[in-house]
Amino acid sequence: MHCLRWATIAALSLSACHGEPPAPSAVEPSVAPMPSPDRADDVRRPSTRSNDASSPTDAGEGNSDAGVDPGTLPQTQEKPSSSNDAFASRASALWDGIASDDPDKAMPFFFPVTAYEQVKAIPNAPSDWKRRLVAAYARDIHALHKRLGAHAAQSKLLRVEIPQERARWVETDEESNKLGYYRVYGSRLIYEVDGDGKRRSFDVSSLISWRGEWYVVHLTGFK
């Protein structure tokens, strides 16, 4: 009898040794195992593949990504607006340059040299941009500052009036162009001085577009 009992116990023990151990009760079989430390770092790290508007094939109309020189991106035929934040920021920079008599501060509103290189079918476009257009822009800013008088620092830009209905698309091959753009004449800077409530204005000769944004190319007159 004792031998039979011990034989039964031994057989059960041998069977248990050859069977699969049960899964721990606290772990769901469907849950994937945790990655190794190296793989875990890969999971947390954002992808570095580019798929944004700065890519020429994916570039959207109008504003480009912050930190990207818009002049390095392709031109678009989007009609510019004067009611977005980017335009307001550039107009404010122009006024700051006039009020402080500092043309460098006003450069964000000037047509980018990189865009000018793409547009103009002329020899040495960057030199023409700097020596002719930017030089005239600086002279105009100094002259407008003098017109503001002793209270220039207290002047305030109220708005920029652009006759959008008069804007037209300038075709390729017009005005020595390789690319087209929108152009508008007869815009105005509306301002007041020292909070006196009197509305005054400066005329802006010519704005042209790049990627759905207005830029100054001739501030006062054509030089």
The string of pLDDT tens digits covering residues 133-165 is 999 999 999 999 999 999 899 999 999 999 999
Task: Report whether 215 contacts 109 (CB < 8 A).
Answer: yes
Give DSSP secondary structure letters for 40-107: HHHHHSPP----STTSTTTPPSS---TTS-GGGSPP--PPP-SSSHHHHHHHHHHHHHHHHT-GGGGG
Length of the chain (residues): 223
Each residue of 30-86: pLDDT tens digit?
333 333 333 333 323 333 333 333 333 333 344 445 688 999 999 999 999 999 999
**d(C-alpha 72, C-alpha 189), whole Å:** 28
- Is the overall model pTM greater than 0.85, yes or no? no
Q: What is the pLDDT of residue 175?
A: 87
Q: What is the pLDDT of residue 65?
A: 57
Name residue 23's amino acid: A
What does the DSSP 8-state code read for residue 216?
E
Cα–Cα distances in angstroms (integers) from residue 99 to residues 11, 105, 217, in the given order? 100, 10, 19
Q: What is the pLDDT of residue 173?
A: 85
* Phi/psi at 213 (5° precision): -130, 140
Q: What is the pLDDT of residue 66?
A: 64
The pLDDT of residue 181 is above 60: yes
Each residue of 78-108: pLDDT tens digit?
999 999 999 999 999 999 999 999 999 999 9
**Torsion-angle region of residue 162: left (phi > 0), alpha (psi -120 to 50) or beta?**
beta
